Amino acid sequence: MAKKQDALDYHSSGRKGKIEVIATKPCDTSRDLSLAYSPGVAEPCLAIEESPEDAYKYTAKGNLVAVISNGSAVLGLGDIGALAGKPVMEGKGILFKRFADIDVFDIELNTKEPDEIINTVRLLEPTFGGINLEDIKAPECFYIEEKLKEVMNIPVFHDDQHGTAIIANAGLINALELIKKDISKIKIVVNGAGAAGIACAQMALTLGAKKENMILCDSKGVIYKGRTEGMNDYKARLATEMECRTLEEAMVDADVFFGVSAKDAVTPEMVASMAADPILFAMANPDPEILPSEAIKVRSDVIVGTGRSDFPNQVNNVLCFPFLFRGALDTHATAINDEMKMAAVKALANLAKEDVPDSVIKAYGNTKFSFGRDYLIPKPFDPRVLLHVAPAVAKAAIDSGVATRDIGDINKYTESLEALQGRSKEIMRTLINKAKSDRKRIVFPEGDNEKILRATQILIDEKIAIPILLGPEDKIKGMIKELSLDLHGVQIIDTKGSPKHHEYSNELFRLRQRKGVTLAEASRTICRERNYYGAMMVRMGDADAMLSGVNHHYPETIRPALEVIGKQPQVKGVHGLYMMVFKKDVIFCADTTVTIDPTAEELAETAILAANKARHFDVEPRVAMLSFSNYGSALHPFTSKVIRATQLVKEWAPNLVVDGEVQANVALDPDLTEQQYPFSQLKGNANVLVFPDLNSGNISYKLLSKLGGAEAVGPILMGMKKPVHVLQRGDEVNDIVNMAAVAVVDAQDAFEKEINNGYH
């Protein structure tokens, strides 16, 4: 739990507060100045005057949301005023940015007058792509939102109403599914009849709950027909005809409790009086209506959620507004309507049932999540939330007619969102799409490994590869069941007792008989060592590629592959490549894993093979032959080797952009290259770095990964006769899926070569 001083220090350290404005264009030269400002800036001004839609093209409007509050209902802290609410509004800004790359100006308005708020906000339309109203108390919030929706032509969304309702109801749908209760038959108590309470109740009704089974309470108790004290039209519409008058009475036999009221509003006795398997979402912030530990003490069957991140089931609108606005902004929607809200509910509810990626497990301190009582809705740090919710919302905006911009194919749109999450997603998507275009069979010798099984599920669901699992069938089937995976139809081969045993043993004996291997030994190896069996499957054409290594040391995987499959006859050796993915750039590093002290010929071969691999990723290679010297500046046997290798590459691949020997900083610095080495083929923008030996290659890629923040994809083995790739012991499910895509594309390439060379 965050301590008071920690929270204060977090906000006051460094630049004060949580947000800053960053320029998106260079403004370093007088030319930049003349474009950014007078005279150049007049051009986009005139273009927008002529065609207002061009504001989305030439300004930040399309990605800019105003978070607007008057501080009248800040979290559960109440009416603390506009200024005191600013940290929360900056907080919303940080979440918009972090989760959906949306820019926010937070605007705190010093007024309690609804019409003043309406008049101020409506004038902001030219600046923003959307309006997020926040922490404005009921009932004024209803009037303000309704009026603004009428007069504004951009989305207006009161987060505390609809964001909260979307999450609470996504959680409700899933909780009811778990305990097999029918929404039309359940008794729901909503405590808090303000912004959040009214909206949560209304959405539950839309989803099928019955008004006669619902009780709404506020600070005065049950809202019943005929009550006069503290009433308004919104409360009156949901007033109950039941006899109960207090929250305590209302809670008896309730199936569901939605708390959007205040700290400690619920007692353990109230929870104890609820129906079987009670659903209790105590969503008041920062302190819930009752702590989960107190509720569980009196009811072991309770399904509990809070608004906080430090308990299971964070039922909080953070899981909605960034993603919902992403879809609305991208379609230039004129409003956020009920269809879009419902699309978000369904997308969130469905996503919770999918396997959770390792990156999420890591982000939450290695806690494992699977659909159930403690994991009803996805986690905000789950990168898939953006990819599921924003496209669903965008599609609903298009289908319901409020979109004014065509985003084209929805799958392509989802891919563009992936790109927004980082270059690695974008570049891997290229490869995955290639893999999907012609799936290949990949054998996984470690078929009884949990990560391999989870990766297998993705490979099947996304149609990236046709996995084959090696290992004891009963064990693997048991694991599949335990992990709630659906791997129906996947081929599982138990190497002990396989019908291919005889054939593979004889082939291994034939290959290794002059290396001291007897037939009996070959037979034992095929039976017991799955890496040999897998490699043999690839050799004999029973699989197209092999992927192994999560449970093994590197040599244990590579040795069988080299003995059974071997290197391509025309190459000098096998080489290892890593793709290092930075936020904006991708760099290929070779050789990083295989040849300790390559000859000039081997180095030249590494360069050419690495350049070919870069093309697989749709990257046009520019190869730098690295050394500690620039174009002859330091003569030494080490640099001479690289000079010779560079000559060989130029001879063997005359069309390849390559140069060296060159230092790493020069290879990557256009200015330095232009000033000092204008003759170089490289213009300081190398993207394939060939290291002179394994020392420098291996050390460098690890430094780039640890200190440079690059994501490392690899090792990608180059020069094998058929595709085999080695997984790392710490690889996550996502890494395995990525390497499987690499292997499939490799297999496609190998298959093409075989046809071209008449290899069979």
Ligand X SMILES: NC(=O)C1=CN([C@@H]2O[C@H](COP(=O)(O)OP(=O)(O)OC[C@H]3O[C@@H](n4cnc5c(N)ncnc54)[C@H](OP(=O)(O)O)[C@@H]3O)[C@@H](O)[C@H]2O)C=CC1
Question: Is 222 annotated for ligand binding?
Answer: no
DSSP string, 198-265: HHHHHHHHHTT--GGGEEEEETTEE-BTT--TT--HHHHHT-B-SS--SHHHHHTT-SEEEE-S-TT-
- 220 lies in the site for ligand X, by CB under 6 A: yes
Does a cis peptide bond (omega within 30 degrees of 0) precede residue 661? Answer: yes
Question: Is 9 annotated for ligand binding?
Answer: no
Closest CA to 545 of 636, 660, 634, 466: 466
Binders of ligand X in range 229-248 (CB under 6 A): 230
- 192 lies in the site for ligand CC(=O)C(=O)O, by CB under 6 A: no
The residue to which tokens 């360069």 are assigned = 607
Identify the bridge partners of residue 282 per DSSP, sorted by sequence position: 259, 306
- 160 lies in the site for ligand CC(=O)C(=O)O, by CB under 6 A: yes
Binders of ligand CC(=O)C(=O)O in range 140-159 (CB under 6 A): 159
User: Which of 285, 313, 568, 639 lies at the binding interface for ligand X (CB under 6 A)?
Assistant: 285
What residues contact 9, with CB distance under 8 A and at least 6 apart? none
Active site residue 92: yes
If binding means CB under 6 A, how many residues of this protein chain bind ligand CC(=O)C(=O)O?
Answer: 8
Encoded one letter per residue, x for contact with ligand X by CB under 6 A and - for no contact, window 135-174 reads --xx---------------------x---x----------
Closest CA to 588 of 620, 555, 627: 620
Question: Is 566 annotated for ligand binding?
Answer: no
Would you say 160 or 355 has its CB closer to Mg ion?
160
Burial of 261 (0-12, 13-18, 19+ CB in 10 A): buried
Identity of the residue numbered 430: T
Q: Which stretch binds ligand X (CB under 6 A): 3-11, 149-157, 179-187, 217-225?
A: 217-225
- 135 lies in the site for Mg ion, by CB under 5 A: yes
User: Which of 133, 156, 196, 608 lies at the binding interface for ligand X (CB under 6 A)?
Assistant: 196
Which is it for the CA torsion 232, 236, 242, 248, positive or negative?
negative
Question: Is 80 annotated for ligand binding?
Answer: yes
- 106 lies in the site for ligand CC(=O)C(=O)O, by CB under 6 A: no
- 316 lies in the site for ligand CC(=O)C(=O)O, by CB under 6 A: yes
User: Which of 160, 418, 446, 731 lies at the binding interface for Mg ion (CB under 5 A)?
Assistant: 160
Closest CA to 344 of 389, 391, 386, 394: 389
CA distance 566 to 539: 9
Q: How far is the CB of 137 from ligand CC(=O)C(=O)O (least distance, A)?
A: 10
Closest CA to 65 of 132, 121, 3: 132
Closest CA to 67 of 91, 99, 101, 100: 91
195 binds, among ligand X, Mg ion, ligand CC(=O)C(=O)O, none (CB under 5 to 8 A by kind): ligand X
- 103 lies in the site for ligand CC(=O)C(=O)O, by CB under 6 A: no
378 binds, among ligand CC(=O)C(=O)O, ligand X, Mg ion, none (CB under 5 to 8 A by kind): none
**Nearest-CB residue for ligand CC(=O)C(=O)O:** 285
What residues contact 224, with CB distance under 8 A and at least 6 apart? 239, 240, 241, 242, 244, 245
- 135 lies in the site for ligand CC(=O)C(=O)O, by CB under 6 A: yes
Q: How far is the CB of 555 from ligand X (least distance, A)?
A: 52
Q: How far is the CB of 318 from ligand CC(=O)C(=O)O (least distance, A)?
A: 7
372 binds, among ligand CC(=O)C(=O)O, ligand X, Mg ion, none (CB under 5 to 8 A by kind): none
- 309 lies in the site for ligand X, by CB under 6 A: no
- 90 lies in the site for Mg ion, by CB under 5 A: no
Would you say 157 or 701 has its CB closer to ligand CC(=O)C(=O)O?
157
Question: Is 169 annotated for ligand binding?
Answer: no
Q: How far is the CB of 170 from ligand CC(=O)C(=O)O (least distance, A)?
A: 15
Token pair listed for 206: 């839309």
Q: Can you give 321-385 as a three-state secondary structure string?
A: HHHHHHHHHHCCCCCCCHHHHHHHHHHHHHHCCCCCCHHHHHHCCCCCCCCECCECCCCCCCCHH
CA dihedral 535, 539, 544, 549 (to 10 degrees): 10
Question: Is 135 annotated for ligand binding?
Answer: yes
Closest CA to 533 of 480, 491, 496, 479: 496
Count helices and strands in the chain by DSSP H and E runs: 31, 21
Would you say 136 or 667 has its CB closer to ligand X?
136
**Nearest-CB residue for ligand X:** 194
- Decide the pairing of beta strands 491-493 and 545-548: unpaired
Q: How far is CA 568 from CA 304, 609, 695, in A?
A: 59, 12, 25
Q: How far is CA 644 from CA 172, 599, 657, in A?
A: 68, 10, 16
- Catalytic pick among 61, 92, 379, 434: 92
Encoded one letter per residue, x for contact with ligand CC(=O)C(=O)O by CB under 6 A and - for no contact, window 46-85 reads -----------------------------x----------
Q: How far is the CB of 296 from ligand CC(=O)C(=O)O (least distance, A)?
A: 23
Q: How far is CA 707 from the centre of its chain?
A: 22
Token pair listed for 459: 């490979």
Q: How far is the CB of 76 from ligand X (least distance, A)?
A: 3
Binders of ligand CC(=O)C(=O)O in range 256-315 (CB under 6 A): 285, 307
- 202 lies in the site for ligand X, by CB under 6 A: no
CA distance 216 to 167: 19
CA distance 365 to 353: 21
Q: Do residues 694 and 591 touch, judged by C-beta distance below 8 A?
A: yes
Q: Do residues 631 and 586 touch, judged by C-beta distance below 8 A?
A: no
Q: How far is the CB of 698 from Mg ion (least distance, A)?
A: 50
Question: Is 285 annotated for ligand binding?
Answer: yes
If binding means CB under 5 A, how many residues of this protein chain bind Mg ion?
Answer: 2
Q: Return the DSSP state at 540.
A: T
User: Which of 93, 194, 327, 391 lies at the binding interface for ligand X (CB under 6 A)?
Assistant: 194
For residue 193, the surrounding DSSP H or E stretch is: none
265 binds, among Mg ion, ligand X, ligand CC(=O)C(=O)O, none (CB under 5 to 8 A by kind): ligand X
CA distance 562 to 306: 55
Q: Which residues are marked as active site?
A: 92
Question: Which residues are at the interface with ligand X (CB under 6 A)?
Answer: 73, 75-76, 137-138, 160, 164, 191-197, 217-220, 230, 260-262, 265, 283-285, 307, 315-317
State the binding site for NADP(+).
74-81
Question: Which residues are at the interface with ligand CC(=O)C(=O)O (CB under 6 A)?
Answer: 75, 135, 159-160, 285, 307, 316-317
Question: Which residues are at the interface with Mg ion (CB under 5 A)?
Answer: 135, 160
